[in-house]
Amino acid sequence: MTTILLDSNEATEAVGANLWRQLPPKCLVFLHGPLGVGKTTLVRGLLRAAGYTGAVKSPTYTLVEEYRLGERCLFHFDLYRLSDPEELEWMGIRDYLAQDGLCLIEWPEMGAGFLPEADLALFLSVHGKGRALTFCTKQPELKKL
């Protein structure tokens, strides 16, 4: 596990940008942390690095936002409002995960029992006036992030 301190939204977006450049095209990433800690800000950094210029919002009500970015695709999930993990089956989670895409899932604990183990888990927390970000992976190729 590696922890870094982030002192601003710009620093959080920079981490996201770095992840875009380093993550493989097919990867499952869990984003853990309380409301307002910067999960979507990190995703915004990924998308900006990929060249996406539109608005980036958390898919709290839609559950998933899909982005086609050149040769790559990114699926941004927010499971905060999921009332039952079985809803993931109804929305076709297996189809999303089977694609050659980067899947970023906020509030993955809401899908416990239906989601596979993440390739990379990110834990964001408040740390003083900033944030702490902890990376956790069992994938050797991702340990250098």
User: pLDDT digits over 5-35, tens only?
Assistant: 999 999 999 999 999 999 999 999 999 999 9
Q: CATH assignment of 2-140?
A: 3.40.50.300
pLDDT at 144 (0 to 100) = 63
At 36, the amino acid letter reads G
Q: What is the pTM of this model?
A: 0.90
pLDDT at 139 (0 to 100) = 74
Q: What is the dihedral of CA 23, 29, 32, 38, to 10 degrees?
A: 50
At 15, the amino acid letter reads V
Name the one residue in this structure whose structure tokens are 């998308």.
47
Residues 65 and 69: their CA atoms lie apart, in Å, by 13
**Which residues does 55 contact at the CB level (< 8 Å), separation at least 6?**
none
End-to-end CA distance of the chain: 10
pLDDT at 143 (0 to 100) = 61
For the residues of 65-77, what is the DSSP string, one character each?
Answer: EEEEETTEEEEEE
**Which residues does 66 contact at the CB level (< 8 Å), separation at least 6?**
73, 74, 75, 76
Residues 75 and 56: their CA atoms lie apart, in Å, by 12
pLDDT at 131 (0 to 100) = 93
pLDDT at 41 (0 to 100) = 93
Domain locations in the chain as residue ranges: 2-140
pLDDT less than 70: residues of the chain = 59-62, 140-145
pLDDT at 2 (0 to 100) = 85
pLDDT at 49 (0 to 100) = 94
Which has the closest alpha carbon to 87: 111, 59, 52? 111
